[in-house]
Amino acid sequence: MLTLVLHNLLRRPLRHGLTLAGVALAVAVLVCITAFGTGYRQTLRGELDRAGLQMMLVPTGCPYDDAARVLKNNTLENSLPASALDLARRDPAVAVAAPFLMAALPRTDTRRTDLWVGLDETALPLKPWWRVTAGRAWFNGPDEVILGADAAALEMRAPGDKFFSPETRREFRVAGVLERSGTSDDSIFFIPLATTQAMFAQTGRLTAIAIRLKDPALVREAAPRLQEIPGAQVVTMTEMMGTFLNLLGAVRTLLLALGVIALTVGALSVFNTLLAGVVERSGELALLRALGASRTQVFALITGESLLLSGVGGALGLALAVAGGPALENLVRPWVPFAPAQTLLALDDRVLLNGLALALAAGALAGIYPAWRASRLSPALAVKME
């Protein structure tokens, strides 16, 4: 029976080739979109876990937006008073309270905007990826800068080089260049906290305070206390994760809709190919009935063709997703809010198997009507069509 199925498909190479291409493209798009959502979640969780944060203190306003911006090294319009840091550090549940001041600096010579982050040494335990490829891992003076891997590459600076910021008219010396971490730190200019406050006229102000608790289980107990700090509000990492995923949700829904449309078009293409084949081969299918094939066997024959088309198309689609996924990711990345720096595509076994299963299910569904129609052909047609 498989030989019969194979021979039938090889009979119309162009028609079936085009159908395979349609299915492959649809499956590739769908798999990439599924992998994208999974990858985003995994990467984000990985970043948060590596930081070992349980919560952030951000200025009052929209706490989730603020926290998301801070975590991704974006600037805030409001700021926290320095007193909030003292109060946070005094809380009995807090192990580390690391202050940050972030500022975006549009460059006059290029179209890009640099992100400057001021921090003190308490931030280091929260950045386990903080390792230098060259130079020192911390500042020796107020006018030193540590560059993220991408920032150093962009500025073409190495440790010991001078670095002038024309917009703020300040000169820095490069203390070190960080190893690539796959986080948003890669593109940041790090300077001491006090220097940032002076440079951006934010003396005594902070963008956020990242908090690690002595025990992660203390979140429920500590959050209400920290919430009492004037001008500050608490955002836990669980809430943050939800915010990120909500922001992603809109993009993902749009992409999934595209994927479903692609798969529907693929299934319709299989349907059309099979139906055309059944109409074209009516005499031959009736002949099979005349030779003793039961309706079920004819139904199975056409369903087999459908499954083979969609299965091979699906497998090609998986190969296409693995080969072309990174290019698709680059296309989609600019539309993703607060995209993690690491890959967003998680093309794991589960995603690939789901893609193949979906292709087979769509193929089986698309084959039902043509197979039913073929199975209803009268064997008498074989004599009539002679």
Partner 1 sequence: MTTSPQENTSVIAAQALTKIYQRGREEVRALDAVSFTVARGEFTAITGPSGAGKSTLLNLLGCMDAPTSGTLRLDDREVHGLDERARTELRRSTVGFVFQHFGLLPTLTVEENVVLPALFARRSSARRAEMLLEKVGLLHRRTHRPHELSGGEMQRVAIARALINEPRLLLADEPTGNLDSATGYSIITLFQQLNAEGLTVLVVTHNAVMTAAARRQLALRDGRLADGK
Q: Among candidates 56, 52, 48, 54, which has minimal Cα distance to 227?
A: 56
DSSP lists the bridge partners of residue 208 as 100
Q: How far is the CB of 14 from partner 1 (least distance, A)?
A: 16
Q: How far is the CB of 300 from partner 1 (least distance, A)?
A: 11
- Residue placing its CB nearer to partner 1 in the complex, 226 or 302: 302
- Residue placing its CB nearer to partner 1 in the complex, 210 or 293: 293
Q: Using CA atoms in the order 19, 345, 148, 203, what is the torsion angle rounded to 10 degrees? A: 120
- Residue placing its CB nearer to partner 1 in the complex, 349 or 386: 386
Q: How far is the CB of 380 from partner 1 (least distance, A)?
A: 4
Q: How far is the CB of 341 from partner 1 (least distance, A)?
A: 54
d(CA 346, CA 79): 36
Q: How far is the CB of 279 from partner 1 (least distance, A)?
A: 17
- Residue placing its CB nearer to partner 1 in the complex, 5 or 126: 5
The dihedral through the CA atoms of 46, 48, 51, 52 has a sign that is negative
- Residue placing its CB nearer to partner 1 in the complex, 203 or 294: 294
Q: Scanning the structure block, which residue is given the tokens 């031959």?
A: 284
- Residue placing its CB nearer to partner 1 in the complex, 10 or 331: 10
Q: Which residues bind partner 1 (CB under 8 A)?
A: 1, 3-4, 7-8, 10-11, 284, 287-295, 297, 378-380, 382-384, 386
> In a 3-state reduction of DSSP, which class is residue 110?
coil
CA angle 209, 214, 217 (to 5 degrees): 100
SS3 content of the chain, % helix, strand, coil (to 5): 60, 15, 25
CA dist list (Å): 40 to 136, 246, 339: 32, 12, 8
Q: How far is the CB of 3 from partner 1 (least distance, A)?
A: 7
